[in-house]
Homo-oligomer: A and B are copies of this chain.
Amino acid sequence: MSKIEITDVILRDAHQSLIATRMRTEDMLPICDKLDKVGYWSLECWGGATYDACLRFLKEDPWERLSKLRQALPNTRLQMLVRGQNLLGYRHYADDVVRAFILKAAEQGMDVFRIFDALNDIRNLRTAVEATREAGKHAQGTICYTVSPVHDTRGFVKMARELAEMDCDSICIKDMAGLLTPYATEELVKAIKDAVDLPLQLHSHATAGLAEMCHLKAIENGCDRVDTAISSWAGGTSHPPTESLVAGLRGTEYDTGLDLELLQDIGMYFYEVRKKYHQFESEFTGVDTRVQVNQIPGGMISNLANQLKEQNALGRMNEVMEEIPRVREDLGYPPLVTPTSQIVGTQAVLNVLTGKRYETITNEVKIYLQGGYGQAPGKVNEKLRREAVGEQDIIEVRPADLLAPELEHLRREIGDLAKSDEDVLSYAMFPEIGRQFLEQRAAGTLQPEPLEPPPGDGPQESAPTEFNIVLH
């Protein structure tokens, strides 16, 4: 192994993790010139929740963002996160929509497609991977890392082999919850690199304060690339700081070769940008190791807290926390990531609040148990499945095999409001907010949600701090 390659997630996962995906394109463009000079392997800048947030909150056309970023970053690979057959939405789309979306994104300049499925059911990756390959772009097959009685290194290696057979260009280990430990990383990375002759990339969230150490053990065991976030948007539920890894590897066989002083400039820029979005910051931004005890991702806990608060039942949080592992077991231990984290969490809340487990079963749990999201990693609770699904057939095939082509139908539905294929895809992803966006655009009433002024506004304008001083 030599030179470690870096993907900076500042334009996607960092702000998705820290400020609910609210960073605006106008705050990305001014620094693109510097970002483009760093020499990153790629910049993750699109996909995940950004598409939704653009339409719903920022009233930006996500395709316009992509086009502007492409223009401003001519020398750097652009990377996006794709939820397999769910693309950037929350349901399985028909193959024609998946293909159209991937091909359009590729045409608009996307270089690297990181594709995952919440259940690690690789059948749900196939269409997206094939479309990416067809477009001549980089398909990164992704393994969602989790810990459960049915997950082990052998299973993850098997999946890595299958991703390689599917002609993925590289493999990603996606540790969305910060569950990896340094020596678990060592074992996993070594095993995958032994089994599969593809570049391996590690995406590990800093939630529990372990990701830096995981990076190091990954790198020492042959991992080729890691995801980091520029320091002013690093740490906590985001990722380890880019500058620290670059500094830490300088002069070693792993040297990233990136320019630390340039990165520091970029860090300062984003430090200022972050202030603009203070209203979206969580109160708690530090290290939280609870996931290492209870395996429940931090983001899921805060969502549940909000759900419970709305029902005036915050006091039952502990019961919900105890119920989550039981629901997860009943569902065959899915990794907890969009949408499974929501499916498990909501059912756990219902089980606690109704006072009787599964007295009410959500529609999503029913679909899940029927096989509508794909195959569960372990055995599901059969009794529960019968209760939920009743006489209906269990879906054994790839769920999207049951979906008829839908793109032309969607195109007709949205009609003249769509001025382009991209517009049709926005409507396809999010029928309600996509339509609303297109309607407001037509009416000239698009209006981004307002930003609150900086705290302590009023006369006190803090003196320039030592940290704004440019040192070079």
Q: Which residues of A contact B (CB under 8 A)?
A: 181-183, 208-210, 212-213, 215-217, 231-232, 234-235, 240-241, 243-244, 246-252, 260-261, 263-264, 271, 282-284, 286-290, 292-294, 301-302, 304-306, 309, 314, 317-318, 321, 455-456, 458-467, 469-472
B462 touches A463 (CB 8 A): yes
A213 touches B210 (CB 8 A): no
Interchain residue pairs with CB less than 8 A apart (16): A181-B250, A182-B248, A183-B252, A208-B244, A210-B247, A235-B235, A235-B286, A244-B289, A260-B289, A283-B465, A288-B467, A305-B466, A309-B463, A317-B471, A456-B459, A460-B461
B209 touches A302 (CB 8 A): no
Contact A247 to B208, CB < 8 A, known contacts A286-B231, A462-B283: yes
Chain B nearest CB: distance from A297 CB in Å?
12
A318 touches B234 (CB 8 A): no
Chain B nearest CB: distance from A147 CB in Å?
12
Contact A234 to B286, CB < 8 A, known contacts A216-B213, A463-B462: yes
Residues of chain B within 8 A (CB-CB) of A181 are 247-251
B216 touches A182 (CB 8 A): yes
Residues of chain B within 8 A (CB-CB) of A455 are 455-456
Set B264, B271, B456: member contacting A460, Cβ < 8 A: B456
Contact A232 to B286, CB < 8 A, known contacts A210-B244, A210-B248, A470-B318: yes
Residues of chain B within 8 A (CB-CB) of A260 are 289, 292-293
CA of A254 to CA of B465, assembled, Å: 40
Residues of chain B within 8 A (CB-CB) of A289 are 231, 241, 243-244, 246-247, 260, 263-264
Residues of chain B within 8 A (CB-CB) of A248 are 181-183, 210, 213
Set B216, B231, B261: member contacting A293, Cβ < 8 A: B261
Chain B nearest CB: distance from A460 CB in Å?
5
- Of all chain B residues, which has the CB nearest A215? B213
B244 touches A271 (CB 8 A): no
B318 touches A293 (CB 8 A): no
Chain B nearest CB: distance from A227 CB in Å?
15
- Of all chain B residues, which has the CB nearest A302? B466
